[in-house]
Amino acid sequence: MASDTDDLAFDVFSRQCPSRSTLEHATGRWGSLTLGALYEESLRFNELRRRVDGVSEKMLSQTLHALERDGLVLRDAQPVNPPRVDYELTPLGREVAGRLLGLIHLVEGRMDDVLAARTRYDEARGGR
């Protein structure tokens, strides 16, 4: 059924496959928003922090490190004073971010449906 395409070296459905952690970094709570924000333009640390509403310094730092390690984000530190560091997407990061953004826009554009579904669900249960 699916085995004709299963000469894949990596299978994210398998527990210890390294691709799963990469997917989690990219789709995680802050990862997806960070990548999405960087799609339009490269940004500095605090610009990014303002754009991704609600992220703490710690989590943004952590998120950026994970994405940089996975080769999705490039850190460009310029040795000037005051220090200036720009974060931008790598080519691979751009591909990933593009798909993420497509998903984000799809969800944003269908929130009416989602909200309606939630109301229906809650009414069917709240009755009990």
Partner DNA sequence: CCGTATCCCACTCGATACTG
Partner DNA sequence: CAGTATCGAGTGGGATACGG
Q: How far is the CB of 83 from a second copy (least distance, A)?
A: 19
Nearer to a second copy, 24 or 76 (CB): 24
The reply on whether position 116 binds a second copy by CB under 8 A is yes
Residues that contact DNA, how many (by CB under 7 A) = 23
36 binds, among a second copy, DNA, none (CB under 5 to 8 A by kind): a second copy
> Tokens at residue 100, please?
């993420």
Sign of CA dihedral 13, 18, 24, 26: negative
- SS3 track for 31-96: HHHHHHHHHHCCEEHHHHHHHCCCCCHHHHHHHHHHHHHCCCEEEEEECCCCCEEEEEECHHHHHH
Distance CA 68, CA 75 (A): 7
Q: How far is the CB of 3 from a second copy (least distance, A)?
A: 12
Phi and psi torsions of 15, nearest 5°: -55, -50
Q: Which of 22, 25, 26, 30 binds DNA (CB under 7 A)?
A: 30
Binding site for a second copy (CB under 8 A): 1-2, 8-15, 18-19, 22-24, 26-29, 32-33, 36-37, 40, 51-54, 68-71, 92, 95-96, 99-100, 102-104, 106-111, 113-118, 121-122
